[in-house]
Chains A and B, each alone.
Chain A
């Protein structure tokens, strides 16, 4: 079992819709969780991070964390074609180690 699991996609949503990206993790000791966006051929860039159970909103993005279910999600409201990218979920576990999932490819079509 991988430590951080994501559906590889592609997740296809129409422009203006809500995109929902999901991630599960195996290490119950993980303290914080990160969402990175990676455009094709580019390096990952941080979108947001979350430490506490519940929701955290930043503009069109909302991260949700449920530690009991070991589940993290990212919602993108009013999806735009420019949101088309691979979204990487990462968890920080023991020894301050940041572990990435394989990423979910999102395609937003006009």
Chain B
């Protein structure tokens, strides 16, 4: 079984530039999560999708961040414009709905550096 696939693995941009991250979850996993992890901190949830529906986006900074999950499979997280404080690792994770719903499998992450 292929794992959660994320791209790009690394991205360096200047502040005020846009950036986008892509995630392909494990096949059959209905729930998809985007987390942000700052250095020395635990992952912080940005948004959670159940199929195509964003069921929890309370922590997503909506003035500059957006996400979509068309067709309930792949997802894209966008930041526009990026700020210095957005430097972090953006982790995508997926899980099944129902029993064991919170057994998350994480992708390798996308490390963003904003200069």
Contact = CB atoms under 8 A, between A and B. Distances in A.
Interface of A: 4, 8, 32, 34, 42-46, 49, 88, 90, 92, 95-103
Contacts of B109: 43
10 closest cross-chain pairs (CB), A and B: A100-B42, A43-B106, A102-B42, A92-B102, A100-B43, A43-B109, A102-B41, A101-B42, A44-B106, A88-B42
Nearest to B103: A46
A43 B44 CA distance: 13
Please classify the interface of chain A as helix (H, G, I), strand (E, B), loop, or mixed, using the class held by over half of its residues.
Answer: strand
Interface string B34-61: 0100001111110010000001100000
Given A42-B108, A46-B104, A98-B104, 15 more contacts: A32-B102, A43-B91, A43-B109, A49-B102, A49-B103, A88-B43, A95-B56, A97-B45, A98-B102, A99-B45, A100-B42, A100-B43, A101-B42, A102-B40, A103-B40
A43 B107 contact: yes
